[in-house]
């Protein structure tokens, strides 16, 4: 079956611009997670959705970052006034269970802020 | 803040050798997972360990969860070039988010 998909695969933008990153989870998965992975490091948690609501957004670094999941499926991570430090790979993962720790990751979106 | 430290950070060995990667924390986790990540791809789950002292085997890979559920190890027997990749441990502690380790980049030389 289809896995988690993320678009675009690569995004290059200029400092100060707004970007949107999209995640299509595995069909039927209720939980959706966003992580950020900087070069040479492990992924860092950003936000977790259970259904349509953000159950935990404690990992969002500041108020320039926002994520939505309006229909409980596709999610969009939005970054305003991008900074060079936002450059990283943004990973999305989904899980079929409410409290499952087993997450299935997409290939990521590589964001480069010039 | 929970931290998971992995060692070694980099490991390069010859095909056929054995190796062990360690994942250590001062925090207790409800469960711990190991992932492998290839360049340009997301992490792929290898195993989940839940019980302190638990040992799981996946072909040539052996995973162990420490008795106190603060640490874990991954042992690979007779390493093959296909084992090359970034190995990540990740802990869960009652909430749904995962705390990932710093990663071990493994290179198997043919």
What is the average pLDDT across A80-108? Answer: 89
Predicted confidence (pLDDT) at residue B106 exceeds the cutoff of 90: yes
Give the gap in angstroms from C-alpha B58 to the nearest C-alpha of chain A.
16
Predicted confidence (pLDDT) at residue B96 exceeds the cutoff of 80: no
Contact B41 A44 (CB under 8 A): no
| Beta strands B99-100 and B85-92, pairing class | antiparallel
C-beta separation of B103 from B89 below 8 A: no
A25 touching B, CB under 8 A?
no
Contact A103 B45 (CB under 8 A): yes
Helix/strand/coil (H/E/C) assignment for every residue in B17-60: CCEEEEEECCCCCCEEEEEEECCCCCCEEEEEECCCCCEEEECC
Which pLDDT score is estimated for B22? 97
Residues 60..89 of A with a Cβ closer than 8 Å to B: which? none
The token duo for A74 is: 């596709």
Q: What is the pLDDT of residues B19-77, one digit of tens each?
A: 999 999 998 988 899 999 998 899 999 999 999 999 999 999 999 999 999 999 999 99
Which pLDDT score is estimated for B30? 86
Give the C-alpha separation, A56 to A11, whole Å.
26
Which pLDDT score is estimated for A99? 57
| Neighbour tally for A71: CB within 10 Å | 9
């Amino acid at each position: 079956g289809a896995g988690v998909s993320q678009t675009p695969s690569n995004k290059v933008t200029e400092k100060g611009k707004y970007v949107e990153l999209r995640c299509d989870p595995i069909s039927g998965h209720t939980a959706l997670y966003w992580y950020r992975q900087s070069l040479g490091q492990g992924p860092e948690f950003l936000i977790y959705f259970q259904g349509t609501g953000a159950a935990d957004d404690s990992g969002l670094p500041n108020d320039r970052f926002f994520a939505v999941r309006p229909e409980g499926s596709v999610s969009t991570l939005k970054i305003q006034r991008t900074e060079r430090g936002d450059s990283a790979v943004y990973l999305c993962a989904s899980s079929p269970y409410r409290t499952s720790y087993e997450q299935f990751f997409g290939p990521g979106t590589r964001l480069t802020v010039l | 803040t929970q931290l998971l430290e992995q060692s070694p950070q980099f490991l390069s060995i010859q095909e056929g050798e054995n190796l062990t990667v360690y994942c250590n924390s001062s925090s207790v986790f409800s469960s711990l997972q190991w992932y492998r990540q290839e360049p340009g791809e997301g992490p792929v789950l290898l195993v989940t360990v839940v019980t302190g002292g638990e040992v799981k085997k996946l072909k040539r890979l052996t995973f162990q969860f420490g008795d106190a559920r603060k640490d874990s190890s991954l042992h690979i027997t007779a390493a093959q070039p296909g084992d090359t990749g970034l190995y990540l441990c990740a802990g869960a502690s009652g909430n749904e988010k995962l705390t990932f380790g710093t990663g071990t980049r493994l290179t198997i030389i043919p």
